[in-house]
């Protein structure tokens, strides 16, 4: 990788993370300690494969969804932030996630997702897969993001990793809400297909990366300590409800 491209990737990555980690996060594990998706995931589908044909079919399905209410949801889901996670998951839990009402849970989600981001960043840089709107030279649902994300690899999906990691953490803390929480997490990833920013295989891989990151986080004593603090907070919120 040449120096110019590396600098471009770093700037794009930092730009994408700023909304998510506005406050200084704390990583539970180093990047080297996280599972490396380059080593356990297959490469993105070749453009002549049946897998890519499915990717293309899903891209066209996503385009058909854009004028609908589901398309509006996908447009809102383009926001890559803990605030968006709080907004979409709070109804499923029955209480509001916020830095004021649930500070321990907020810190857990912020720091866990900051750590999980490292689980997909190497694969993004390694494969540097062109995004669907680049491949077809067609507009997306969220045109203001197009230029920045041209310089950030498509595989695996970082948005999906964020949504699915959040869902898995919330299911552990609040298993009685598991079905709705998992549905919300799944739909957040699918929104990236609808928006035209990710292939279906990117999204599928993002869920696997999130699952691997979630499992690895449980080997971190700091994560477990914060998980217990968040659990007490969630239990209190559920009782109040």
Active site residue 192: yes
Pick the catalytic residue from 110, 117, 198, 207: 198
d(CA 159, CA 189): 6
If one counts every other C-beta atom within 10 angstroms of the C-beta of residue 40, the result is 11
Which of the 8 DSSP states describes residue 145?
A: G
Q: Which of 129, 131, 192, 207 is labelled catalytic?
A: 192
Contacts of 194 (CB under 8 A, 6+ apart): 62, 63, 65, 66, 70, 71, 74, 141
DSSP-assigned states of every residue in 96-124: ---TTT-HHHHHHHHHHHHHHHHHHHHHH
Neighbours of 65 (CB within 10 A): 19
Rounded-to-integer distance, Cα 194 and Cα 33, Å:
33
Task: Count Cβ atoms within 10 A of the Cβ of residue 145 and give its class: 0-12 exposed, 13-18 middle, 19 or more buried.
Answer: middle
> For 195-240, what is the HEC assignment?
HCCCCHHHHHHHHHHHHHHHHHHCCCHHHHHHHHHHHHHHHHHHHH
To the query of whether residue 159 is one of the catalytic residues in this protein, the response is yes
- Asked if residues 124 and 159 have their Cβ atoms less than 8 Å apart, the reply is no
Active-site choice (84, 110, 131, 159): 159
Active-site annotation holds for 202: yes
Which residue is listed with tokens 């932030």?
81
Q: Let me know if 36 is a catalytic residue.
A: no
Catalytically annotated residues: 159, 192, 198, 202
């Amino acid at each position: 990788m040449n120096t110019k491209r590396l600098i471009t990737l770093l700037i794009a990555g930092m730009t994408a993370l700023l909304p998510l980690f506005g406050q200084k996060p704390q990583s539970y594990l180093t990047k080297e300690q996280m599972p490396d998706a380059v080593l356990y995931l297959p490469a993105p589908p070749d453009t002549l494969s049946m897998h890519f044909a499915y990717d293309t079919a899903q891209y066209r399905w996503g385009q058909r969804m854009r004028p609908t209410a589901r398309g509006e949801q996908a447009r809102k889901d383009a926001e890559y932030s803990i605030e968006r996670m709080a907004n979409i998951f709070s109804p499923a839990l029955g209480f509001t996630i916020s830095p004021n009402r649930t500070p321990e849970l907020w810190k857990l989600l912020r720091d866990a997702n900051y750590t999980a981001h490292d689980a997909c960043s190497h694969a993004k840089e390694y494969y540097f897969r062109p995004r669907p709107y680049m491949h077809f030279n067609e507009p997306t649902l969220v045109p203001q993001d197009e230029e920045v994300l041209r310089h950030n690899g498509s595989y695996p999906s970082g948005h999906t990793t964020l949504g699915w990691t959040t869902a898995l953490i919330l299911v552990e803390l609040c298993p009685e809400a598991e079905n709705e929480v998992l549905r919300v997490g799944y739909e957040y990833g699918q929104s990236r297909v609808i928006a035209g920013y990710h292939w279906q295989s990117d999204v599928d891989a993002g869920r696997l990366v999130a699952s691997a990151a979630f499992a690895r986080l449980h080997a971190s004593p700091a994560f477990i300590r914060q998980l217990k603090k968040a659990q007490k907070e969630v239990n209190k919120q559920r009782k109040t409800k």
